[in-house]
Amino acid sequence: MKTREEIDSLGSVELPVDAYYGAQTERARKNFIDSGLKLPGAFIRSLAIIKRFAAAANAELQLLETKPAEAITCAALEVIDGKFDHSFVVDLFQTGSGTSTNMNMNEVIAFRANELLTGTKDGKSPVHPNDHVNLGQSSNDIIPSVIHVAGLMAIKGELVPALEKLHNVLAQKAAEFASIRKIGRTHLQDAVPIYLGDEFGAYARQVALSLKRIENASENLRELPLGGTAVGNGLNTHPEFAGRVIQMLSAHLKIDFFEAVHHFEAQSAKDAAVEISGALKTTAVSLTKISNDIRWLASGPRCGLGEIQIPSLQPGSSIMPGKVNPVIPESVLQIAAQVMGNDLTITLAGQGGNLELNVMMPVIAYNLLQSISILSIGARSLAEKCILGIKADMEKCSFYLDKSLALATYLVPRLGYDRSAAISKKAHESGKRIADVVLEEGILTQEELDKLIR
């Protein structure tokens, strides 16, 4: 350990100012260049899928010889299988068109294609990354096409099945709890009686509407900018190229894609991505409502509402023995918050369309695909690890219902608002039930009361 004198003496050492700030600047530059964020695997695979069919289309159009086309196809398939995941090193924060990632893909495919053709590792001969792998394409039309393809694949393959699962489980619980009466609540205060099945039916309907919104917003993702090349006018691409690639994509992925109606719009604006992100945000808001309600209804177990019991997944406290927290609903709340933040980023990036090109496409791709992925995980976890195992505490539901002052509402048609309010106030002050006050004071008979309330 250094002495105090040794520590104090360090302060007198004069450091070269240029060296100090030079090191800081270099460190900052390196951190800026490599943020540690990469475009997700779903994006890389979708880009490779398009490259595969681009080579096939160019071969059909006799713009690319058969052997190079086949080598490009084989290399692209290996990329799709994840063989070269380690080769995609480009940082997320790059040129706004995604050119760096497009060229990364072109070079990986060309390198492997040349190895397949010649046995020699060569990046440019006989297959060239620009002249052959990127033939008929530009980053400006292929990257937005990949956003649509990857997004729609993830929605149909992951998100929709997860939300359908959640909807089915909620609908199942709504039916299971259809006959369980309980107190309703507004403003977190007692309201009139409802059925527990009504609450779960509402959650199921929220998810059904989310599915409908996502389906409607997904329609515009089917439109692909492919074929517009640099600015939207199709320079240096065959007029049939885009149509052939899109036809192959549609058949392979079983999704009906079509060529952009107006290529200049498709490349300069990212409104379709902003639209679907809005639907994802709305879904996140719905899952927030559902998850928060589950937390409230399951609060306790003895000093909260406790009208339902949720599955116990793990100890909920490092200090309080026996405590169990609503782990899954809380994880979904965090997912929802992330999706809402992603939506803001996508909205701001959607404003990045300047003249003939949007220059914030990588960050749109990253946030959109992340939102789809984590919403899928959250919805499925909520369904399978929480909702499915929920049980109703019928005794607690009945207890609250019997004690509620809100039952005075049922008296209004017979006794009027003011008299019913006075009965409610008296019951509250005396600690009695509404029924006790009404019967004790002879206001109604038991039969009359039952008829009003039941």
pTM greater than 0.85 (yes/no): yes
Catalytic site residue from 35, 317, 428, 430: 317
**pLDDT at residue 27, as a whole number:** 58
Determine whether 197 is exposed, middle or buried from the number of CB atoms within 10 Å of its CB (0-12, 13-18, 19+).
Answer: buried
pLDDT tens track of the chain, all 454 residues? 545 555 455 444 444 545 544 555 565 555 555 678 999 999 999 999 999 999 999 999 999 999 999 999 999 999 999 999 999 999 999 999 999 999 999 999 999 999 999 998 877 999 999 999 999 999 999 999 999 999 999 999 999 999 999 999 999 999 999 999 999 999 999 999 999 999 999 999 999 999 999 999 999 999 999 999 999 999 999 999 999 999 999 999 999 999 999 999 999 999 999 999 999 999 999 999 999 999 999 999 889 999 999 998 876 677 887 788 899 999 999 999 999 999 999 999 999 999 999 999 999 999 999 999 999 999 999 999 999 999 999 999 999 999 998 888 999 999 999 999 999 999 999 999 999 999 999 998 999 888 888 7
Contacts of 93 (CB under 8 A, 6+ apart): 32, 35, 37, 362, 363
Residue 396, both tokens: 């607690």
Contact yes or no for 214/437 (Cβ under 8 A):
no
What is the CATH code of the structural domain delimited by 41-135? 1.10.275.10
Q: Positive or negative, the Cα torsion across 263, 265, 267, 268?
A: positive
- How far apart are the C-alpha atoms of 160 and 166, rounded to whole Å? 10
**pLDDT at residue 317, as a whole number:** 74
- How far apart are the C-alpha atoms of 190 and 290, rounded to whole Å? 19
- How far apart are the C-alpha atoms of 387 and 306, rounded to whole Å? 15
- How far apart are the C-alpha atoms of 128 and 109, rounded to whole Å? 9
Catalytic site residue from 12, 86, 187, 318: 187
Right CATH for 140-234+258-395 from 1.20.200.10, 1.10.3720.10, 1.25.40.10, 3.30.70.20: 1.20.200.10
**pLDDT at residue 33, as a whole number:** 57
- How far apart are the C-alpha atoms of 349 and 352, rounded to whole Å? 5
**pLDDT at residue 30, as a whole number:** 58
In the residue annotation, 428 being an active-site residue is answered as no
- How far apart are the C-alpha atoms of 415 and 270, rounded to whole Å? 61
Phi, psi for residue 353 in degrees, rounded to 5: -85, 110
**pLDDT at residue 392, as a whole number:** 97
**pLDDT at residue 284, as a whole number:** 98
Residue 117, both tokens: 């053709």
Task: Indicate the domain borders of the chain.
Answer: 41-135, 140-234+258-395, 404-453
- What does the angle CA 408 – CA 412 – CA 413 come to, to the nearest 5 degrees? 140
**pLDDT at residue 378, as a whole number:** 98
Residue 138, both tokens: 């530009």
Instruction: Find out whether the peptide bond into 301 is cis, omega within 30 degrees of 0.
Output: yes
- What does the angle CA 131 – CA 135 – CA 141 come to, to the nearest 5 degrees? 130
**pLDDT at residue 15, as a whole number:** 43
In the residue annotation, 263 being an active-site residue is answered as no
Measured N-to-C along each axis, helices 41-60 and 139-154 cross at an angle, to the nearest 10 degrees, of: 120
- What does the angle CA 448 – CA 434 – CA 402 come to, to the nearest 5 degrees? 95
Phi, psi for residue 308 in degrees, rounded to 5: -130, 160
Q: Which residue has the tokens 């956003």?
A: 147
308 forms beta bridges with: 392
**What number of residues does the chain have?**
454
Right CATH for 404-453 from 3.40.50.300, 3.90.1110.10, 3.30.70.100, 1.10.40.30: 1.10.40.30
Contact yes or no for 401/183 (Cβ under 8 A):
yes
- How far apart are the C-alpha atoms of 365 and 37, rounded to whole Å? 12
**pLDDT at residue 7, as a whole number:** 41
